Amino acid sequence: MTATAMNQPIRSPKQLGSLIRQARLQRSMTQKDLADLIGTYQKTISQIENGNPGAKLETMFSILAALDLDLELVSRRKSRPDLGDIF
């Protein structure tokens, strides 16, 4: 996955899950491989990749670290978010 593909706004759990799946597959890892690496269940990885909004923040950071990814917060440069960006 190119750096450009990863440098995009993520505004929903589904978008984040999709990018996590792409990063995992690029590293030739199964969901179970990733789950074992961070000490969770394969089902948890599946739920996150499918956009389940109930994931623990700690789990998300573990996944990002295991996939050698960083989380960066950037201002949207708007006075208030569009409802479509949130849901």
- Residue ranges of domains in the chain: 10-68
What letter does residue 39 receive in the DSSP assignment?
Answer: T
The CATH number corresponding to 10-68 among 3.40.50.2000, 3.30.420.40, 1.10.260.40, 1.20.1370.20 equals 1.10.260.40
Average pLDDT along the chain, 87 residues, taken 10 residues at a time = 62 95 98 98 98 94 97 77 63
Query: Rounded to an integer, what is the distance from CA 85 to the centroid of its chain?
Result: 16
What is the Cα Rg of the chain in Å? 13
Neighbours of 72 (CB within 10 A): 6
Rounded (10°) angle between helices 57-66 and 31-38: 110
pLDDT of residue 81: 62
pLDDT of residue 58: 96
What letter does residue 66 receive in the DSSP assignment?
Answer: H
pLDDT of residue 2: 43
